[in-house]
Amino acid sequence: MFRRKSHSHCDQEGEDQQHKVKELRTSLEPLSGRSLQYCSDACLRRYLEARNWNMDKSKKMLEESLKWRSTFKPEEIHWNEVAIEGETGKAFRANFHDRDGRSVLILRPGMQNTTSIDNQMKHLVYLIENAILNLPQGQEQMAWLIDFTGWSLTNNVPIKSARETVNILQNHYPERLAIAFLYNPPRIFEAFWKIVKYFLDSKTFQKVKFVYPKNKDSVELMKSYFDMDNLPTEFGGKATLNYDHEEFSRKMVQDDMKAAKFWSLDKLHPETNGYYAAEVAANPECIAPPAIAT
C-alpha cells in the first residue's frame, strides 16, 4: 500500500513537472531556427530545475540564455578558432567518462598560456558544448576535474575570468554540471576561493567538492564517481594522463562536423576547419542535444 502511494506521488510529480514544461514553452515568444531546436523539453526542464520550478524566474533565465546564444553563437565556434588556448592542455575533454556516463572536463589552471579573457571564455564554451555533444543517450550532465599542480598566485586565474566562468556555467548551462572536484588545492587557494564562492548560487556551491589525496573520505568519494583504472594518477587513479594536442585537435575537428550536422550548419558550411566531410568522417554515434544548456 505504501509502495502504491509512493508511485502515485511520483507520477503526480512527473505530471506536474511536464505541465510546467508546457507552460514555460507557451509563455515564450514564438521560437524558430536554432532557438527552437535548443529549447527541447529536456532543456526547458533544466531551466525550471535551476530556478526551483519558478515559472517567472525560469522564463527570465531562459530568455537571457537565448539572447546570449544569439550573440555569442557557441554552436558556431570551431576548434581552429580556440586551438591555441589548448596547446598546453590547460583544459580538455577527457577520453573517459565517470561511472554514470558523464563527459569529463579536465582543467589545469596552472598551465595557463594566454592573457585574453574573451578567448579563454570562448575556449571554455567550446569545451562545454563539446562535452555535451559527447554525452551518451539519457545523460545530460558533465563532471569537472580541476588539477592545481603548478598553480600559484602569480599564474592565478583573474577574478574577472573566474566570475565570467561561473556566470556562463550557472546562467547559460544550468543543470549541466553534476559535480566539480577541486583536487588538492594549495592552502593559499583558500583566499581566492573566499571571493569566488560568493559568485556561486547555492546549487552550484553544493556541487563543488574539495578533494585531498591523503584524506580517506576524499579517496572514497573519487572511487564512487570514477573507475580508478581510468582515472589519471594526478587525481588519485592509476591511468597515465598524456595530453597530445595534435591528437586532441583531430578529435575536435571530427566533433566539429558532428556539431555542424546537429545544428544543420553543414549545409551552410561544407568545410569545417579546412577539412572536407569526405576527409574526416564523423562518428555515427547518437548525439545528445547540446542544448546544450547545460
Kindly report the CATH number assigned to the domain that includes residue 123: 3.40.525.10
Q: What is the pLDDT of residue 2?
A: 43
Give me the CATH number covering residue 27.
Answer: 1.10.8
Burial category of 252 from C-beta neighbours within 10 Å (exposed 0-12, middle 13-18, buried 19 and up)? buried
Closest CA to 205 of 194, 214, 215, 216: 194
265 found inside a domain: no
For the chain, what is the domain count?
2
- Residue 267 belongs to a domain: no
> Which residues lie closer than 8 Å to 279 by C-beta, 6 or more apart?
none
Tell whether 151 and 40 lie within a shared domain.
no
pLDDT at 44: 98
117 with 185, same domain: the answer is yes
Does 51 share its domain with 151?
A: no
* Judgement on whether residues 45 and 176 belong to the same structural domain of the protein: no
What is the DSSP secondary structure assignment for residue 189, as one 8-state letter?
Answer: H
Residue 264: per-residue pLDDT: 87
Residues 93 and 200 in one domain: yes
Same domain, 117 and 236: yes
Domain stop point among 52, 72, 92: 72
Residue 59's closest CA among 37, 31, 33, 87? 31
Residue ranges in the chain modelled with pLDDT below 50: 1-3, 5, 269-294
185: left (phi over 0), alpha (psi -120 to 50) or beta: beta
The answer to the question of residue 6 being in a domain is no
CA pair distance 241, 288, nearest whole angstrom: 26
Query: With contact defined as beta carbons under 8 Å apart, do 248 and 86 qualify?
Result: yes
Residues 55 and 145 both lie in one domain? no
Global pTM reads 0.86
Residue at 157 is within a domain: yes
Q: What's the maximum distance between 2 C-alpha atoms anywhere in the chain? A: 63
Determine the pLDDT at residue 285. 39
Domain that holds residue 64: 15-72
**231: helix, coil or strand?**
coil
67 and 89 share one domain: no
Distance CA 184, CA 29 (A): 46
On whether the CB atoms of residues 123 and 79 are closer than 8 A, the answer is: no
Best CA proximity match to 237, nearest among 98, 92, 91: 98
Helices 55-72 and 159-172, packing angle to 10 deg:
120
Domain endpoint, select from 36, 51, 72 = 72
In a domain, 186, yes or no: yes
179 DSSP β-pair partners: 143
Domain boundary (72, 104, 119) is at: 72
Q: How far is residue 129's CA from residue 40's CA, in Å, rounded to a whole number?
A: 16
Query: What value does the mean pLDDT of the chain take?
Result: 88
Residue 156 inside a domain? The answer is yes
Residue 1 falls inside a structural domain = no
| 134 shares its domain with 226 | yes
Q: By the 8 A CB rule, do 206 and 159 touch?
A: no
Tell me, yes or no, whether 195 lies in a domain.
yes
* CA-angle at 125, arms to 107 and 37, nearest 5°: 140
- Whether residues 50 and 151 share a domain: the answer is no
Q: Are residues 187 and 145 in the same domain?
A: yes
With CA atoms as reference, report the closest residue to 46 among 61, 31, 34, 32: 61
Q: Which three cell numbers stand for residue 260?
A: 555542424
Q: How far apart are CA 174 and CA 62, in angstroms?
A: 10
The strand ranges marked E within the chain are 91-93, 103-107, 142-147, 177-183, 208-211, 271-272, 275-276
Q: Do 161 and 134 fall into the same domain? A: yes
Angle at 236 between CA 179 and CA 252, to 5 degrees: 60
